Structure formats: C-alpha cells, structure tokens
Amino acid sequence: MFGRIFLVCVFIVLVFSIPRVSGQFFIFQNPLEGEMAPDFNLATLDNDSVNFFEYRNGKRAIVFFWAIWCPHCRTALRDLNLKQDMIKQRQIKIVLVDIGENRAKVEAYFKRNDINLNVFLDKESSVAELYSVSGIPSFYYVDANGIVATVGHDLLEDFESLF
C-alpha cells in the first residue's frame, strides 16, 4: 500500500514539473539571435587585419567558429570547403573564425587537408566571447542587414532559408 502511494506521489510530481523543466531550455538560445552581429577586426591567414563588416560588404554571411582539436569542427570545415563554390555563387560570405590557435598550426592543417578558405584568427577568443559562443562548432547566419538570423551547431542543407 505504501509503495503505491509513493509511486502515485512521484508520478504527480513528475507530471507537474515537466512544464517548468521544458521552459528552462530557452536559456540555450544565443542572445545575439535577432540582434546586430558584432563587428570585429582580426588577423587572417593571409596576414591581413580584416574588418568583419567590410569583408561581408553588405552580403549575407555564415560565421563559423571552430578549432582544429574539435572533430565535429573538422567535419564541418571539410563540408564548407566542398560547398564553398555553391555558397559563393549565392552571394554568401564564409567567415571562418578559428578560436585560440596559432597561425602556424592552422596553416599546417589547411595545407595538409587542401582547404582553400581564409581564416580569421581569434587567438585570444575575444570574438568568440563577443558572440557568446557556447560550444563548437557554431554557425552564425548573418543576413544582408547584419542581423544574426539564427545560430546552430551544423551547416544545414537548407541554410539559405535561415537568413
């Protein structure tokens, strides 16, 4: 008898606590969604200091935060490299932001893997912090007006619909 009452009480507690728990998942939404993407200046593999807004030049952009040590990032980077022509044809800029690694390490990885994209080097992780990056890989889809349309952890097949 006591066991049944206990189970009923546990069931009631679980049923009434589900709405509160599901509401907590909203904390994972990036605070930049719907906001202007922060501007930044970073050095690139080409040894230039590049401004994000000038580089984007009023076009849509996929800002990809990544690092070599991250296996999912390497997979996403390979996909971006393969799709770069199609993405560029659609007038979308690809902005790779490597977090916390030095130029020599990134250059060696790009040469070894035949990657033909330019990279912004965020050695101090200051831009990643500015963008509230909570994990990598992270994709920020920035529309032509500079607004962060959405943030995700994958390069989606229908990414154009996200802008």
The per-residue DSSP string of 140-156 comes to: EEE-TTSBEEEEESS--
Contact 51, 39 (CB under 8 A): yes
Residue 12 in any domain: the answer is no
Q: How far apart are CA 80 and CA 85, in angstroms?
A: 9
Residue 65 belongs to domain with CATH number: 3.40.30.10
Average pLDDT, the chain: 86
Instruction: Provide the pLDDT confidence category of residue 113 given band limits of 50, 70 and 90.
Output: very high
Query: What is residue 12's predicted lDDT score, i.e. its pLDDT?
Result: 53
Instruction: Tell me the mean pLDDT in the region 103-110.
Output: 96
Residue 25 in any domain: the answer is no
Residue 96 sits in which domain range? Answer: 30-162
Residue 100 in any domain: the answer is yes
Instruction: Tell me the mean pLDDT in the region 131-140.
Output: 95
* Side-chain half-sphere CA neighbours of 69 within 13 A: 5
CA 65 to chain centre: 5
Query: What is residue 78's predicted lDDT score, i.e. its pLDDT?
Result: 95
Closest CA to 149 of 46, 63, 78: 63
Structural domains counted in the chain = 1
β-pairing verdict for 92-99 and 119-122: parallel
Residue 111 in any domain: the answer is yes
Q: Please say if the pLDDT value at position 149 is more than 50.
A: yes
Closest CA to 155 of 130, 137, 128, 129: 137
Q: Is the peptide bond before 71 cis (omega within 30 degrees of 0)?
A: no
Question: 37-89 pLDDT, tens per residue?
Answer: 999 999 999 888 999 999 999 999 999 999 999 999 999 999 999 999 999 99
Question: 25-34 pLDDT, tens per residue?
Answer: 344 678 999 9
Residue 121 in any domain: the answer is yes
Residue 6 in any domain: the answer is no
Residue 66 in any domain: the answer is yes
Residue 75 in any domain: the answer is yes
Query: What is residue 46's predicted lDDT score, i.e. its pLDDT?
Result: 86
